[in-house]
Amino acid sequence: MKQLKNMLFMTALAILGFSCGKKQEVIPLDKHSIIPIPVSVAPEAGSFTLSSKTAIVLSSDPSQLEPVAEYLKSALGNLTGLNLSIGQEEKDNSIILSLDAGASPHEEGYSLSISDKKILIAAPAPEGLFYGIQTLKQLVPAHGGSSKGSGNQFLIPTGTVQDHPEYAYRGMMLDVARHFFSVEDVKKLIDQIAVYKINHLHLHLSDDQGWRIEIKSWPLLTTIGGANQVGGGEGGFYTQEDYKEIVRYAQSRFITIVPEIDMPGHTNSALNAYGILNPGITVPEKTAVPIDRKALGLEEDPKATPYHTGIEVGFSTFDTNNPVTYQFIDDVIREISEMTPGPYFHIGGDESHVTAMEDYIPFIEKAQAIVSKYGKKTLGWDEVAHAKLLPTSVAQYWAKAENAILAIEQGSQVLMSPAVKAYLDMQYDSTTHLGLHWAAYIELDQAYNWDPTELEAQIRRENILGVEAPLWTETIITFEDIEYMVFPRLAAIAEIAWSPKNARNWEDFRRRIVWHGQRWEAQGKNFYRSPKVEW
């Protein structure tokens, strides 16, 4: 009923807008629904008219500005149906993009100034312009899809926004190992999370059930190790070309790909392919499926393990005492690092329950040294803090605060992903048809109402690199499943990562998210209508 009323109201508004042209209602800038909430917003009385006459103007080095200008053009086109021109000549009714070192003291910051005659987005670097564009998109009164405008006029409130992120690392993780997701799905997700100024996408590329990235020097990893998933089935993998395509696409949205190869545990898919890496582990009998190597024209490999089609964890490990294991991880880390422009390589390191601690520690230290050798910094789940970490290494806090504190005592920073708050695979409540609940049920208010600096006295602001929300995919099969678990919670986590603590407020977030729900609905996104929100 409420939805019907809303629809009638919106239709009435739209008719009013179309027939009266300029008399459309403008929501003033201080009543905005911007997520993540900006550092400062100063409204003015008035509006800018976005129409087919609006031009996008590049006011500094066009080679640096063109890609963001093209993004802006296509984003505004999708929302409104307008086809804006891009040029270098400034006139009335322009959206000006300007690289300007003075626009913000922060390297990722931006300023957005909207007057009756022009919109100026200025930033010291292209990523700042991109973030300014995300903010501007949220001020456009059209949602795309069925709520696209029809070549008319769109009024944007005047005023200024000054903004920059709280944390340098604002991330999401997608587990493509339990279930595989196509390059197209990953690109769609990249577009959706870029809206919320997320700048890292961590890909969990290997686990017991599947190996998802081509390694040229160990080809069976994908032909054998990639051909399985939770529940059994064909699995899948990225060729190196696919991976490079994902990296390039992410770069165009100012998102850094963080590749993870989980080790020494969570490695059954590598042991499916190469028995030589196996110290003698087996797969839980209930979920083991034998592999027919003959059918693939391969020799028998008695030490190779069967597929694991279940979701139990902690039973697998590499043979940490065999030199071949280190040749193997050297090749894997080298090949992936060569394709990865970002600074991090994630070595996993979680839940290695069958690796003795005296084997685990030197293994992590050797893996860390190989990551350094290939020019990357090590990221690892919080257990890696048992080893001697380099100061450049980062521990990802998911389970144990004492591990995070161990890392901090060694001079490392931590990435905050507390499972009880930030895990996107946790059910919203006991009725959620997807997800797990071993850590908690996480409703939208619980995903929002926490701060990384308030969990433990010893984890202080300066120890925190940023925040990441992981999506494990034991129960997640389709892209619609991803959307359901990610939205709206990722918007909450993104605000924790971007916005200053004192600007955040649940009641206000709860109001602002409604507008996002309308846009998601117009775009056909399968999001969770949390009962905590009056959608």
Which residues are catalytic, by number? 351
**Does residue 398 touch ligand TNX according to CB under 6 A?**
yes
Q: How many CB atoms lie within 10 A of CB 486?
A: 25
Contact between residue 255 and residue 169 where contact means Cβ atoms under 8 Å apart: no
What's the min distance (Å) between Cβ of 423 and ligand TNX?
6
Quick note: the x/- pattern for ligand TNX over 277-316, rule CB under 6 A, is: ------------------------------------x---
CA distances from 197 to 133, 201, 344, 405, 493 (A): 10, 12, 19, 28, 11
Q: Which is nearer to ligand TNX, 381 or 487 (CB)?
A: 381
Sign of CA dihedral 198, 169, 442, 37: negative
Q: Left (φ > 0), alpha (ψ -120 to 50) or beta: where does 530 sit?
A: beta
Cβ proximity to ligand TNX: between 133 and 459 the closer is 459
Strands 154-163 and 200-204, how do they pair? unpaired
Among the listed residues 476, 451, 471, 470, the one whose alpha carbon sits nearest the alpha carbon of residue 461: 451
| Minimum distance, C-beta of residue 466 to ligand TNX, in the bound complex (Å) | 17
Q: Which is nearer to ligand TNX, 14 or 436 (CB)?
A: 436
Nearer to ligand TNX, 350 or 495 (CB): 350
Query: Is it true that the peptide bond before 36 is cis, omega within 30 degrees of 0?
Result: yes
Token representation of residue 391: 């100061």
Asked if 208 interacts with ligand TNX (CB under 6 A), we say no
What angle (nearest 5°) sits at the alpha carbon of residue 140, between those of residues 139 and 144?
135
User: DSSP labels for 15-49?
Assistant: HHHHHHGGG-----GGG---SSPPSEEEEEEEEEE
Residue 360 interacts with ligand TNX (CB under 6 A)?
Answer: no
Per-residue H/E/C for 48-60: EEECCCCEEEECC
Q: List the x/- string, 469-488, binding to ligand TNX by CB under 6 A.
A: ---x-x--------------
What is the C-alpha separation between 70 and 118, in angstroms, rounded?
18
Q: Which is nearer to ligand TNX, 177 or 195 (CB)?
A: 177
**Please, which residue, 351 or 456, has the CB nearer to ligand TNX?**
351
Please state the closest distance from residue 399 (CB atom) to ligand TNX, in A: 7
- Span 226-255, contacts to ligand TNX by CB under 6 A: none
What's the token pair of residue 461? 């602001």
Binding-site member from 425, 468, 483, 495 for ligand TNX (CB under 6 A):
425
Which CB sits closer to ligand TNX, 144 or 348? Answer: 348
Is residue 381 at the binding interface for ligand TNX, with CB under 6 A as the rule?
A: yes
Among 242, 330, 351, 451, binds ligand TNX (CB under 6 A): 351
Asked if 260 is part of the footprint of ligand TNX (rule: CB under 6 A), the reply reads no
Binding residue for ligand TNX (CB under 6 A) from 276, 390, 436, 522? 436
Tokens for 3, please give them.
Answer: 């939805």
Binding residue for ligand TNX, selected from 350, 443, 468, 483, defined by CB under 6 A: 350
CA atoms within 13 A of residue 83's CA, in its CB half-sphere: 0
Q: Which residues bind ligand TNX (CB under 6 A)?
A: 313, 350-351, 381, 398, 423, 425, 436, 472, 474
